[in-house]
Amino acid sequence: MIASSNGWWFPGDAMSPLGKRIDELFYLILGIVTVVFVGTQFALGYVIWKGATKKDGESAEFSHGSHSLELIWTIVPAFVLVFIALYQMDVWAEFRVQSYYPEQTQEDGPKFEVTARQFEWRIRYPEAGQPLKNQPEPQDLYAVNEIHVPTGRPVKFNLRTDDVQHAFFAPELRVKQDAVAGLIIPVWFEIPVAGEYQLLCAELCGWGHYKMRAIIVAEPQDKVNEYLARLKEDQDFDGVVKDAEEE
């Protein structure tokens, strides 16, 4: 996602609360890696400079190792890795472990299902007022490459694939989850600000992978209800238009 068109940085701030926490972890790791990289490069440069400026006749110093130095560069990286592992546990659990999902998602259950297939995203909504079932119901509503969700509340959905492995990736939300054949994987996100957000496939899934794109539309709940009502009307339409006299 880093490109010249983005000013050689990321495309923008995370647009979800969980995404902001993921960004904080990223910048923490980036800071640690930067300090280590700069420090090791300075050390390397110093060693090269000392060797290049050695005077003629000056004897070299030989060392058979240092136990103290070995302990330092073993314990310090181990401490840093343990710190990162512990620091990120709550964020990882909130994103991946269902018992840590927001309480509202656990009470409401999944609101829709996203099925990846070569090369599109198929969305299945339950009938208004009905829970989402794992198996399709006659009254279910369907859409392709367009997901409508309410703003300001966490939403959980089920992710599946019809064929090969795909990956649900919403970069602005910092949400990425593989869709694995034979599994129903629960995923959640929350979008505070209304708007349209990208949905991409982040797994090389075949010749049409590049065009496997969709949009996530975040809007007030009443707008979502209107959208679902239009879906139902379109699906129930039998193609026959009655004249006013016939009605």
Contact of 181 with 117, CB cutoff 8 Å: no
Report the predicted TM-score, pTM, of the whole model to 2 decimal places: 0.83
- Beta carbons of 117 and 162 less than 8 angstroms apart: yes
For the purposes of burial, counting CB atoms within 10 Å of the CB of 110, is it exposed (0-12), middle (13-18) or buried (19 or more)?
buried
Q: What is the pLDDT of residue 12?
A: 79
10-residue mean pLDDT series, the chain (247 residues)? 65 87 92 94 91 77 80 92 93 91 91 96 92 92 96 95 95 94 95 95 94 96 94 83 61
What pLDDT shows up at residue 235?
Answer: 86
170 closest CA partner among 145, 148, 195, 197: 197
Handedness of CA 169, 175, 176, 182 (dihedral sign): negative
Give the separation between CA 79 and CA 71, rounded to whole angstroms: 12
Are the C-beta atoms of residues 143 and 125 closer than 8 Å to each other? yes
Q: How far apart are CA 20 and CA 14, in angstroms?
A: 5
pLDDT score, position 112: 96
Q: What is the pLDDT of residue 133?
A: 92
Q: What is the pLDDT of residue 244?
A: 56
The reported pLDDT for the residue numbered 24 is 92
Position 220 scores a pLDDT of 95
Which residues lie across from 217 on neighbouring strands?
Answer: 148, 196
